[in-house]
Amino acid sequence: MKRLFIYIGIMLAMVSCNKSDNFEQSVLPADSGAVRLSITAPKSVESEAYNAMDNCAVRVYKYTDTTDENGEATRVKELIRLYKSVEALPSKLELLAGDYAVRVDAGTKAAASFTELSYHGESDFTVEAGIITPVKVDCKMLNSLVEVVFDPSVAKKLDVNSFADVCIGEEYDAAGVKEGKVSYLRYEQDGTGYFLMPEDATTLTWFFHGESSNTEIGTVEKSGKIENVAAATKYTLTFKYSKGLGGSLSFEVDVDTTEEIFNDKIAFSPDPTIKGIGFDPEQVQYVVSDNFTFNIAALADINQLTVTAEGTTYDILNGENNGINIVKNSAKNCDVTISPEFFATMNGGEHNLAFRVEDADGGQANVIVVFTTQGIISIEDVYDPWFNSANFQGVVLDSAATNVAIKYRTVGGEWNSLETTKSTEANIYSAYLEFGQGQSYEYALFVNDVLVGNTLSISTPVGVQIPNSDMESWAMDGKTWCPTADLKNALWDTGNGAISSYSSLIGQDNITYPKDETRPGSTGTKCAYMQSINAVIALAAGNLFIGDFIKTDGTGGVLDFGKPFNFTIRPKAVKLWMKSKCGTINKGDKASGPDLTKIFLCLCDRTEPYHINTNNKETLFDPRTSPNVVASAIYESTTSVSEWTEITIPIEYKDNTKPNYIVFTLTCSGYGDYFTGSTESEMYIDDIELVY
């Protein structure tokens, strides 16, 4: 367990003569020293809203060697200083050389609390004239921690009223809990509580109560103990409701003991100070036209003074920095002024300025001050290429400003104003834009048509297209046509493999193949042609799909639907050219009337293709109901299209998941999976395009 440390730095000065309120000019007796104390308050990892140092007492003791009434040598510990708050600590403390002790008590000593913690630590130290004496106090947490975790099975099975009580004591006292006579915490959800155990107590008891709307379960109650409870140790109670042997329901409680890690730190040190002159550095500062001046003071010569902003570190003591000026009042004290000029190159929004000071005695101070500047805020960290859009934000610090606009343009083009609204958050203006693909944009904030702050830029990616979407590349695998130039790495496939084993019986080797017939205006020479035929005992539907035909299985086929696909931005539609003939269904009994032209594109979130066997109807893919489909575009028609026609099919999204798989199927017989369709149906497809 990382422990809580208190660091006390004591600075002693070898001086003479009389006292003075000015520390640098103090004149003290030769056997005295000066102690300067400063403090930072602890904030618990478990309870960030609680500051134990709001209730703090610091005691300083002096050891004196003397003799008791029997003449025996003894050492007396005498309280010489008591500070009841952080604010009461003096900037300097004069002490005679000798032996001392310091004790720190922090926190409210609540017996049981979800927020309040208690700490204690003390250490001896010796003051030697003229020597800097570091003193470390190991300050330990006094509380024991109990974390309660409710397994999801509790909320599912005991859904009416469930809670767990944790009490200090050997037995659970229900009446004492009800009357408030017992120190306890009630957990109605996951959480961590803090218990301050009395000196004579070493046991915590717990009691669980749960009720179910299921009358077969009814009410469940269970209790137990945590024994030998130690401070600064975390005990985890996990409540789980599960089935035991024989199918009966049982209630399980796991008790896990772990040491809790805390990074709290209480520090007394002779470190330099960084203060704002006329403003509070802990508050956000707004950059308009005023300068910001900081006073930096130390008890020893300042050796290093830097400011870091936007990843750049500026050496204030030794360098010339635009917009940062230093006035050295002495070797131990200076004023640093930061002007609006320093922020002129920064974007709108919040910026952290990190001050770091080191003095000759090793003292350090680090302060981060947040400044807000006017102008457009960069969208670099929030722009998501998948959606290819952005919510712009701009900062205007003049509350009376009118005609505020966020504008954009393609590089070299004219500015376009977006619909800009003032957000509920003060000084923030917002606007929304959907970008085009593969463009370079600039965006900026204007007030009364005057540019405020920087002009920023962003380049958008190009949306990917499906390989061989123009249907120009084909290769022969034996007697079978395949829509690819590389048979080993084909994206597309067809149902040609389903008729290859009995092509001699039907006098045909392919139902999908290239034709030298293209749509008007095409730059290519080929298109994909599909026809449905009578394959002896069943219909063979002409089709084209992304995936792999694996093998025949009787009259059916085994195939894998879909392939991995790296989408860059979110497509809005799929566009293609086609012409089709919907013959009258004359094979199969799934449907009657005109045949069905069917096209569907699905964007999926998967790690493997959909495994289809047309003989097993439960494996068939349905773009509307199959799992892991993020978005789909579906076209179904029983009307023939006699001339080349461009159709656009919108892609409808179910959620915002980014897909990694693509499923695409085109067929002139939409009931082909059921061996139903027309032997007169055919379809031509050319120049498929994803629209962004």
- The tens digit of pLDDT for each residue in 483-494 reads 999 999 999 999
Q: How many Cα atoms are found within 13 Å in the side-chain-facing hemisphere of 670? A: 23
Phi, psi of 383 (to 5 degrees): -70, 125
Q: Which two tokens stand for residue 260?
A: 């809790």
The rounded radius of gyration (Å) of the Cα atoms in the chain is 39
Q: Which residue has the tokens 């024991």?
A: 144
Residue 505: predicted pLDDT: 67
Residue 371: predicted pLDDT: 96
Strand 233-243 versus strand 144-150 pairing type: parallel
Please, which residues have CB within 8 angstroms of residue 381's CB and are 6 or more apart in sequence? Answer: none
Q: Tell me what the mean pLDDT of segment 334-347 comes to.
A: 94
Q: Measured between alpha carbons, how far is 445 from 453 in angstroms, rounded to an integer?
A: 7
Q: How far is CA 293 from CA 337, 353, 359, in A?
A: 4, 13, 20
Q: Measured between alpha carbons, how far is 168 from 108 in angstroms, rounded to an integer?
A: 18
Q: Tell me what the mean pLDDT of segment 435-456 comes to.
A: 95
Phi, psi of 595 (to 5 degrees): -70, 165
Of 240, 180, 182, 185, nearest to 210 by C-alpha is 240
Banded pLDDT at 498 (limits 50, 70, 90): confident
In this structure, which long-range contacts are made by residues 305-308, counting pairs with CB atoms below 8 Å and at least 24 apart in sequence?
A: 305/334, 305/336, 305/355, 305/356, 305/357, 306/355, 306/356, 307/336, 307/338, 307/353, 307/354, 307/355, 307/356, 308/353, 308/354, 308/356
Of 310, 340, 311, 314, nearest to 326 by C-alpha is 314
Residue 49: predicted pLDDT: 62
DSSP state of 182: S
Banded pLDDT at 183 (limits 50, 70, 90): very high
Q: Kindly report, residue by residue over 6-52, the tens digit of the pLDDT.
A: 333 333 322 222 223 333 333 445 565 555 554 444 444 445 567 77
Please, which residues have CB within 8 angstroms of residue 129's CB and are 6 or more apart in sequence? Answer: 12, 14, 30, 31, 32, 33, 97
Question: What secondary structure does DSSP assign to 217-280, as a single string?
Answer: T-EEEEEEEE-S--TTEEEEEEEEEEE-GGG-EEEEEEEEEEEPP---EEEE----EEEESSS-
Q: Is 566 helix (H, G, I), strand (E, B) or coil?
A: coil
Q: Tell me what the mean pLDDT of segment 501-508 comes to.
A: 72
CA angle 614, 527, 477 (to 5 degrees): 55
Q: Is 640 helix (H, G, I), strand (E, B) or coil?
A: coil
Banded pLDDT at 113 (limits 50, 70, 90): very high
Q: Kindly report, residue by residue over 285-330, the tens digit of the pLDDT.
A: 999 989 999 999 887 899 999 999 999 999 999 887 889 999 999 9
Residue 24: predicted pLDDT: 36
Q: Tell me what the mean pLDDT of segment 380-407 comes to.
A: 92
Q: Which two tokens stand for residue 3?
A: 């422990």
If one counts every other C-beta atom within 10 angstroms of the C-beta of residue 344, the result is 14
DSSP state of 46: S
Average pLDDT of the chain is 86
Q: Which two tokens stand for residue 498?
A: 């389903």
DSSP state of 463: P
pTM, entire model: 0.56
Residue 682: predicted pLDDT: 98
Q: Is 656 helix (H, G, I), strand (E, B) or coil?
A: coil
**Buried b / exposed e along 591-602 (16+ C-beta atoms within 10 A):** beebbbbbbbbb
| Sheet order of strands, 450-459 included | 416-417, 404-410, 440-447, 450-459
Residue 92: predicted pLDDT: 63
Phi, psi of 618 (to 5 degrees): -70, -20
Q: Kindly report, residue by residue over 190-208, the tens digit of the pLDDT.
A: 999 999 999 899 999 999 9
Q: Is 314 within 8 Å of 284 (Cβ atoms)?
A: no
Which of 247-261, 343-357, 611-625 is predicted least confidently? 247-261
Helix (H) or strand (E) holding 153: helix 152-157
Amino acid at 247: G
Residue 266: predicted pLDDT: 40
Q: Is 508 within 8 Å of 499 (Cβ atoms)?
A: yes
Q: Which two tokens stand for residue 465?
A: 């297209």
**DSSP H helical segments within 507-640, as ranges?**
none
Q: Which two tokens stand for residue 672?
A: 């082909």
Q: How far is CA 618 from CA 472, 550, 592, 612, 626, in A?
A: 35, 18, 22, 9, 11
Q: How many Cα atoms are found within 13 Å in the side-chain-facing hemisphere of 99? A: 9
Q: How far is CA 500 from CA 250, 605, 616, in A?
A: 60, 33, 21
User: How is the chain split among helix, strand and coil, in percent rounded to 5?
Assistant: 5, 50, 45
Residue 130: predicted pLDDT: 61
Amino acid at 487: L
Q: How far is CA 72 from the centre of its chain?
A: 67
In this structure, which long-range contacts are made by residues 605-608, counting pairs with CB atoms below 8 Å and at least 24 apart in sequence?
A: 605/630, 605/657, 605/658, 605/659, 605/660, 605/661, 606/562, 606/660, 606/661
